[in-house]
Structures are given as C-alpha cells and as structure tokens.
Chain A
Amino acid sequence: MKALCYIGTNKLNVETVKDPEIINPQDAIIRVVYSSVCGSDLHYLHGYVPAMKEGDIIGHEFVGEVVEVGPGVSKLAIGDRVVVAPNIGCGSCYHCEHDEWSLCDNSNQEGFLEEKMVGYPTGAFFGCSHLFGGYAGSHAEYIRVPYADHGCFKIPEALSYEQGLFVSDAMPTGYMAADMAVKPGDIVAVWGAGAVGQMSALSAWLKGASRVFIIDKHSYRLGLAAAHTRSEALNYEQTDILEVLKEATGGRGPDVCIDAVGMESNSTGFEDFYDKAKQAVKIQSDRTSALRQAIMACRKGGMLSVIGVYSGFADKFPLGPLVIKGLTLKTGMVHAQKYIPTLLEHIQKGEADPTFLKTHQWSLEQGNEGYKLFGKERNSILRGVFSPGQ
C-alpha cells in the first residue's frame, strides 16, 4: 500500500510499504477514507518532539471502513463505517475504565521511553512518535487499530464520512477543553483559531456559555470562526486583548480561558523573538505566549483549560499570577473515546457541524506540499485532508 512516511525534519515521502495485518486478537484493519492533518503533526515535522524514526507513518485523525477484524473483536463487522479515536486505549485498565483514555496504562508498548520524561507512561497515539508507542499512522491506504472495540465508533447512517472525520480528534479535543471548565452562563475566551480552537468555541456553546471570544492573528481563521462558531473574533495583532476582554466582561475578565495553541505559540514584538530564539537553540522546548496571556486575562478564581499540545519545558511561565489569582488549571490530552458518542449525537441532531474545518483535500502524493502549506500559510488553510484511496 501507499503511505506518507516521516523521513526527517520537514521531510516526508510517499513510500510503498506492506499492508498492515492483524497482529493481536483485538486488532482491526481499516481502509482509510479520509485522514486529516493536525497541528500536532507540525511539532513532529518541525523536529520539536524527539523519538520520530525514519519511515514512521504519520497521521492520527481518520475515518474509514472495517475490512478485517481479529478474533477478539466483538462489536465491529466488516463493512462498518467508523470514526477512530486518535489515542489508543485498552479499555481494561483503571484509567480507561474511568474514561481517562489517553492515560491508558497498557497501550504504550514503548512506555519506558516516556517514563523517563514524565515519570509514568501514558497512552499511545497513532502516528505520534515512539514516545507514544510508535504505532503506524493513518496517512495510508490501510491502518491497524489495536483494541478496536474501544477505538472504533460506527458513523450513524445519516452522517457522511466527512461529517464523521473531525469527530476523531479536533472535535473531542475542543469539546474536552470546554467540558473540563465551562459551566452554564460562563464567558469564555479561546486562544487559537485552528481546528481545535474552533471546536473549543463551538463546544463552549454546547456546554452553556453565554458569550465566546476567539483570539488569533490570522484573519482567514478568525473569519471562519465568526461564521461557523458564533464567537467574537479578536486579532491580537490589531487589538489589545486584555483591554477588550476586560471591557467586555465589566472589568472582571472571562470566567474560562482556553489555550488551544500549544507549544509553538506566537505573540508580538520582543516576547515572540525571545521565545523563538530560546526554542531554536533548545534552551526551552515549548513556547507559551498564548498561555501567558490567558493567565493574565482570566478573572480571579477563574478556570484555565489547557488543551494545546506541550512536550517538555517552558520558560517564563507566570506561576505567580496563576497562584495569586487562585486559578484552577485543567489539562489533558484528548480522551476521545469518552466524547465521540456524545458528539456524533450532537451532529445527528444538527446542533453542531465540524465539516467546515476541511478547507483542502489532497492525495498522499501531495503530502509534502500540503504540510508546507499547512505549516506556513495559516492564513489560507484550516485543515487539509488526505483521501488515500483516490
């Protein structure tokens, strides 16, 4: 089959590789129909996350058709149309049983690598480096899904593959950011108008927010957010964010601030230069300018929800303001399995529709240029989607 493989920093190749096979009893093989790029792929491609190996197939947000199931799979049949969680959960450990799927004890079969970095290994993800298990990703014609009964969800007949695609990762990630923090009536501000930020804004409404702001510098993305998520778009290059939010909330600040940016955050002026320089020479792994601003903007006693991807250490983190203002910090990698069924229901009822996130479609062969566009031309793209079978 054809697969989009990591070759080195900023270099991908379409390779012909062998088809995946059932290895363990609970595996299923999925024919990939759509597989989306994700901002977190850029962290790997840009060389900020160690433990990528040459030849690794990337991609983790996908939908497809079940073509083979192992003897331990009971809930799926050949021909089922499924959306698949990007994180791999065994379904049997303490964390999976308590809906903390990305903290799975068992799926990260190379957990000893991550253990050295974070103390205890967390769950595996498809196509996200050997820190997270080294599982082959979804930018390929076929993919092996371990613990398939827990990771694959049937797409209701009324919904298309396109409507199901972002229920894999972008939507549950955004929804989790809101679910961890938003209470009915809250005023919510979201940093980052990428796919996850857009879904955070949309989900804030689903959780009962009374007003939602979204902050970015790309007018294209802010325009999409205003059109599709009913949020008030703020451009941080043109507006004093702290002032605007203060005024909009009667001088209190938002009840909930969501960081949907992560470790490759941008800001303006000297702060931006300083952070990028330190990251370039590897003195810090993570840039946190969006998070800094979110901490400053948040009302006293408010909630801070961090869903953007961070990998290691950050500098100039405003711990003082966080503590002095008594903020509650909620974090996590997505527990997709917890949220996918609820989200499919919301879409079926017409209460949310994530399909606007897809702005480009490519063949696997367009992988290199696609990721270049996605990484550099953020003002003209939201999500590019591969259709490997075509």
Chain B
Amino acid sequence: MGKQHLDNSPSQKKNVSKPERILSSLAGGALLANGLIGKKSPLKILAGGFLLYRGLTGNCPAYSAAAKLNIRHPKNITIKTSLTVNKPIAEVYAFWRNLENLPLFMKHLESVQVTDRITSIWRAKVPGRLGTVEWKSSLFLDQENERIGWRSDEGADIMNSGTVHFKDGGKFGTEIHAIISYHAPAGILGEGIGRLLNPIFEGMVQEDIKNFKRYIETGEIPTIEGQPSGSN
C-alpha cells in the first residue's frame, strides 16, 4: 500500500512572516469552527482550512504563485492499495460491479443510485454532519471479471475517479488492486486545503478497501463502536 503523487510536491518554502502566520492560524481556526457549527458554510470551512494551513506551515501557495515561484498544474492525489479476498473472482467482480453495494463498505458513502448501465448518482456524508454532497459518476471501464473504472462527471463537487483491477490470486482467492484518485478543487486555494486532507483521505480509502474484503468475506464489518468501557 502507498500513495503516489502524480506531480511534484509544491515548494515548502516559508514565505509568510511570523506575525502573519499567527494571525492566519487564529483566523483560520475560528473560521473553520464557525463554518462547522450553526449554519454550515462550506466556504468558511474551505477558507478557514486554507488560512490555518498557511499559518501552521508558513507556506502560502497563493504568495508563491503570485511571485511566479511555484505555479503548478492542479494536483491529483492517488492512493494505491492491494488486498486479497478469499472469494472467487466472478463473485468479487459482480459485487463491486453492482455499484449500489458500495455504501455497504465505503463508510462515507450514503448511497449510490444506478441510473443506467454507465451512469450513477453518488451521495456522501460529509464529516461533522454537515449534510450530504451529491455528484454524478460514469463508468469508463468495464471488463467482466477484470477491471472496473469510474470517474465523476465534469463539474462535480467532489472530483474523483477509481479503477479496480481483479486478478486471480490462486489458492488465496482474488487479488484486488485499487487506484483511487482525488482531484483537489481547482485552483491554488484547493491545493492548500487538499494537502491538509490528504492523510485523512488516504486512511479512509484504505479502510474502505479493507471493509470491502471484510464485508464480502464475512457479511459484516467488525466494530467496537457501542461496546461498554469504563471511560464512558
């Protein structure tokens, strides 16, 4: 398992002065908190995160870009992960190919509604109970018992794509090689926010794939949520 950055990381060069960093952190934190409580404001959350980021790192991508030091193409984060599932390839492919099954093991997906052979509507829960985000997605690759690939449609709020390659794993069952890409919202602001979210996103994708294995092998996803503890 591992992540692969499709392009080089932006410069970590510090170009924000200390007082400004402190201000930026404070403002960012406040904005983020404000955006998360009461009437939810995605803009406040995005802006808050951006400010917090430049405050914490001392690096402002906007400054860099303005100084023509660090102009980059929009950034993709790609997470690659492999697992072997103790089930025959046809069963594994068929389960994934029915995209409406995805919320059974992808924790943050609320639903997937298949509209025709190619297109589907995806709904995701946004962390912090901010509500749901909805986008359209299309299959661009479908080879029976081999590969499935999907991509969110142009202009979607969440731009992502994924391919899953199924391979015969011999006595171990079926190998799944998944590549999930996440496109940060366009522009430099998005790049800053994206960098904050990447580690969280990476962990999430890897858990989703593990949960696929857990679900298809055992019919349930193991959890300790809701068990007794002396600290409650």
Contacts and interface: CB of A to CB of B under 8 A. Distances in A.
Interface of A: 1, 3, 5-7, 13, 15, 17-21, 23-26, 53-57, 72, 90-94, 97, 105-112, 124, 133-136, 140, 144, 146-147
Contacts of A17: 228-230, 232
Contact of A112 (B84, B206, B214): B206
Of listed B171, B173, B229, residue having the most chain A CB within 10 A:
B229
A7 B228 CA distance: 14
A360 B218 CA distance: 39
A205 B38 CA distance: 70
11 contacts: A3-B228, A5-B230, A17-B228, A24-B220, A72-B220, A106-B222, A109-B224, A133-B224, A135-B227, A144-B227, A147-B218
Interface in B174-232: 203, 206-207, 210, 213-214, 217-232
A50 to B, nearest CB: 17
B222 A24 contact: yes
Contacts of A54: 230-231
Main secondary structure of the interface of A (DSSP, over half): loop
Nearest to A140: B228
Contact of B230 (A57, A72, A107, A112): A57
A92 B228 contact: no
Contacts of A135: 224, 227
B138 interface: no
A24 B226 CA distance: 11
Main secondary structure of the interface of B (DSSP, over half): loop
A123 B213 CA distance: 15
B232 A106 contact: no
A26 B220 contact: yes
Contacts of B172: 94
B71 to A, nearest CB: 36
Nearest to A54: B231
A1 to B, nearest CB: 7
B111 interface: no
Contacts, number: 98
Interface of B: 84, 86, 171-173, 203, 206-207, 210, 213-214, 217-232
A98 to B, nearest CB: 9
B228 A18 contact: yes
Given A94-B173, A111-B210, A56 B229 contact: yes
Of listed A17, A109, A134, residue having the most chain B CB within 10 A:
A109
Contacts of B228: 1, 3, 17-20, 57, 136, 140
A24 B223 contact: yes
A3 B230 contact: yes
B230 A146 contact: no
Contacts of A124: 222
Nearest to B226: A23
Contacts of B220: 24-26, 72
Given A94-B84, A94-B172, A20 B218 contact: no
A112 B203 contact: yes
Given A18-B232, A106-B213, A109-B222, 19 more contacts: A1-B228, A5-B229, A17-B228, A17-B229, A23-B225, A24-B220, A25-B219, A55-B232, A72-B220, A90-B218, A93-B217, A94-B84, A94-B171, A94-B173, A107-B222, A109-B221, A112-B206, A140-B228, A144-B227
